[in-house]
Structure 1
Amino acid sequence: MATGVGGKNMIDYDPDLWDRVMTVNVKGTWLVTRAAVPLLREGAAIVNVASDTALWGAPRLMAYVASKGAVIAMTRSMARELGEKRIRINAIAPGLTRVEATEYVPAERHQLYENGRALSGAQQPEDVTGSVVWLLSDLSRFITGQLIRSTAVLSLTNK
C-alpha cells in the first residue's frame, strides 16, 4: 500500500493510516506467503516486494518505510524457515517507479530520482520485472533471504 500514505510528518501521522499500511504491507505479505507455502514444491521461489525507501528512510512516509523494512526482515526470517523445505524467498527493492500508485509523489521527487540515478531516467515496471523473473528462475536456485535493489545505483542517504 503506497498511494496516499505520505506527506505527513511523524507527529501528525494518523494511527489508523499506520495500521492500514501495516495490515496490507506486513500482515498481507505474511498471510499470502503462509497460504502459498503448502502449495509449493521443493525448489519453488517467492519474491516479496520491498522498497528502497526502507534503506534510506524517506521522510514523511514513515508507515510505508517501516512496513517495507519489515518485509525485508520477514524475508530473511522466512528464508531460514522455508530453506528446510528447499523453498527460496527473496525480496526486491525498487526505487520510485512510474506507476499509477506513485502519481501522488511530487514532480520534484520524481526528478530527484530520475536525475540522480547512474542510469538516468524514469524507472518503469519492466525495469523491475527482469530481476523478479530471475529470482523466480532456476538461475538463482542457491539464492535465498536476499534483497535485490532495483534502483540504478541511486543513493539518497544524504537527502
Structure 2
Amino acid sequence: MTTSHQLLAGRRILITGAARGLGLAFATAAAEAGASVAMADILQDTLQTAVADLQKRGLTVAGFTVDLADPQSIDSCAKASVQWLGGLDGLVNNAAITNSGGKATEQLAIEMWDKVMDVNVRGTWLMTNACLPALRECGRGSVVNLSSDTPLWGATNLLAYVASKSAVIGMTRSLARELGGDNITVNAVAPGLTLVEATEYVPKERHQTYHDRRAIQRDQLPEDVCGAVIFALSDLSRFYTGQVMAVNGGFVMN
C-alpha cells in the first residue's frame, strides 16, 4: 500500500501551464508523490528552467511546448508527452489566460473574448480529446480541469475569464458522464485568488476582500491547491467524478 507521500507512485501525468504558478506547484507535488510528469507550457525558457530545477532534485519530469490556441500544437504535445511517459494515467488541464481583468463588459474586445475562449475552453476540450486514447487504455484515467471560484460568486470586471471558467465546470460534468464508462474520472478544481504571477494584476482591494471574507483569513498560496489535485489524480478518488472542488479557504462554500 502506498504512503500518503506516494499516492501517485507509477502514475504518468501530463500537466499544462506547468512552467510557473499553480501548474508548477502541481507538477512538483505530483512528482514528489511518485508520478512521472510531462510539463507543458507555451513559455519555453521558463519551462526548461523549471524542468531542470526539478530534475536536479531527482524528480522524473520533462518539458513539452504547447500553444492551447493551436489545435495542431495540442495534438503534437499530447503525442510527444504520451510517448515519453509510456502511456497516460492523468491529465491536468491547468493552462489558461485571463486577459479581461479590470475591464467592464462593454470594454471587452471581441478578439480578446475569442482568444480567452480558444485557450481556456476550446484548448481544454481539445487537449482532453487528444489524450483520451491513452487515458482509456490505462483503465483508470483521471482528468482534472482547473476552473476558478470566480464563476461561483460572479466576479466583476473579469467577464471573459469568468465565462470561460464557468464553461469548464459545465464541460467537466458532461465529460464525467461521457467518460464514466471508460473508468475515467473528470473533476474540476476551483481555486480562489492565489498568490502567483498570473494574479499580480489583481487590485489590492480585491486581494483584501478575499482575505477578509475567507473563513481561513490568510493569503492563499499555490501549495494550498495541490492536495485537491493530487486527490483527484489518485486512487482515493476513483468513485468521485463530475465534482467541483472549491479550494478558497471558505470564501465561497458550495
Relative to the length of structure 2, the TM-score reads 0.60
Matched, 1:56 2:186: no
Q: Following TM superposition, by how much is the alpha carbon of 1:133 offset from its aligned partner in structure 2, in angstroms?
A: 0.1
CA distance in 1, matches of 2:207, 2:102: 15
Q: 1:67 aligns with which of 143, 150, 164?
A: 164
Q: Which residue of 1 aligns with 2:126?
A: 31
Greater C-alpha Rg: 2
Q: 1:123 aligns with which of 193, 213, 220?
A: 220
State the superposition RMSD in angstroms: 1.2
Counterparts of residues 8-157 of structure 1 (less than 5 Å): 8-40=103-135, 41-155=138-252
CA distance in 2, matches of 1:2, 1:72: 16
Q: Following TM superposition, by how much is the alpha carbon of 1:57 offset from its aligned partner in structure 2, in angstroms?
A: 1.1
SS at match of 1:11: helix
CA distance in 2, matches of 1:84, 1:155: 32
Check whether the contact 1:2–1:102 (CA below 8 A) recurs between aligned residues. no
Higher RCO structure (Cα 8 Å, ≥6 apart):
1
Q: Which amino acid aligns with 2:249?
A: A
**Unaligned residue ranges in structure 1 (runs of 5+):** none
SS at match of 2:106: coil
Check whether the contact 2:99–2:112 (CA below 8 A) recurs between aligned residues. no
Q: Following TM superposition, by how much is the alpha carbon of 1:19 offset from its aligned partner in structure 2, in angstroms?
A: 0.4
Q: How many residues align?
A: 156
CA distance in 2, matches of 1:33, 1:3: 20
Q: Which amino acid aligns with 2:115?
A: R
Q: Following TM superposition, by how much is the alpha carbon of 1:155 offset from its aligned partner in structure 2, in angstroms?
A: 3.4
Runs of 4+ deviating beyond 4 Å: none
Check whether the contact 2:117–2:164 (CA below 8 A) recurs between aligned residues. yes
1:11-40 C-alpha deviation (Å, 9 max, x unpaired): 121111100100010001101111111111
Check whether the contact 2:100–2:108 (CA below 8 A) recurs between aligned residues. no
Higher strand share: 2
Identical aligned residues as a percent: 56
Check whether the contact 1:47–1:136 (CA below 8 A) recurs between aligned residues. yes
Check whether the contact 2:99–2:116 (CA below 8 A) recurs between aligned residues. no
Q: 1:3 and 1:22, CA in 2 relative to 1: closer, same or farther beyond 3 A?
A: closer
Check whether the contact 1:4–1:104 (CA below 8 A) recurs between aligned residues. no
CA distance in 1, matches of 2:213, 2:152: 16
Q: Following TM superposition, by how much is the alpha carbon of 1:44 offset from its aligned partner in structure 2, in angstroms?
A: 1.4
Relative to the length of structure 1, the TM-score reads 0.94
**Unaligned residue ranges in structure 2 (runs of 5+):** 1-95
Check whether the contact 2:100–2:112 (CA below 8 A) recurs between aligned residues. yes
CA distance in 1, matches of 2:219, 2:99: 21
SS at match of 1:90: strand
